[in-house]
Amino acid sequence: MSQSSKLALIKEILESAESSIRSAKQMLNELAGINGNSQLTKMAEKVGSSKMVGDNHIIEGSFDGQNMIGPDGKVYSVPANYASKSKLVPGDILKLTITDDGTFLYKQIGPVERKKLIGILTYDDGQYRVIASGKSHKVLLASVTYFKAEIGDRVTIIVPETEDTEWAAIENVLPKMDDGSGPDDFTL
């Protein structure tokens, strides 16, 4: 194994260990009753609304990485394919229209400021994650399959500019070099 391969492996092992520590801290916070979504719930209460327009129920709320949180704190399931293809990130404002026949129609109406990071796709404890900038971000399975990403791929992710969230959206998979490695000197 070449020295650069060993260094890359050591870096990946360290990032995985950091990810495990963060996951343990998050679980500890959950057990202690500290809810990481409380800020998104407060945002949904502030910017969200719920009203009837004709036969349709219109609800505006905040995306938390998987679901929309309504102004009343109620959680609405967002289709993973929509969230993935729309590249939704936590904090985005969504409008949900529930039609008179029960159809749920989502529309992104208020994207938050975003930034892009480059990281490595991993799979830990039943969840795909991207390790970027020393943090592990959860990503949707639908994003991984949509981009045909594989564990170990270098990917570009999108996260909120100002918020520190556990979820990210995959922007794209970076191409591998002829030797199978990713572009080590690629920067944004």
pLDDT at 154 over 80: yes
Other residues' Cβ atoms within 10 Å of the Cβ of residue 57: 15
Q: How confident is the model at residue 54 (pLDDT cuts 50, 70, 90)?
A: confident
Least-confidence region, from 9-13, 98-102, 108-112: 9-13
Residues of the chain with CATH 2.40.50: 3-32+113-173
Length reported for the chain: 188
List the beta bridge partners of residue 160. Answer: 114
Cβ atoms of 84 and 146 within 8 Å: the answer is: yes
Check the CA dihedral 17-23-27-30 and report its sign.
positive
- Please tell me the predicted confidence (pLDDT) of residue 82: 95
Name the class of domain 3-32+113-173. mainly beta
Q: Which residues contact 150 (CB under 8 A, 6 or more apart)?
A: 121
pLDDT at 143 over 90: yes
Token pair 């990071």: residue: 117
Q: Supply 25's token pair.
A: 């801290």
The 10s digit of each residue's pLDDT in 173-185 is: 998 766 555 554 4
- DSSP codes joined into one string, 115-134: EEEEEEEEEETTEEEEEETT
Residue among 50, 53, 72, 69 nearest 61 (CA): 69
Buried b (16+ CB within 10 A) or exposed e, 35-52: eebebbbebbeeebeeee
**H or E element, residue 111:** none
Q: Which amino acid is at 20?
A: S
Token pair 């949900």: residue: 96
Over residues 15-30, the mean pLDDT reads 67
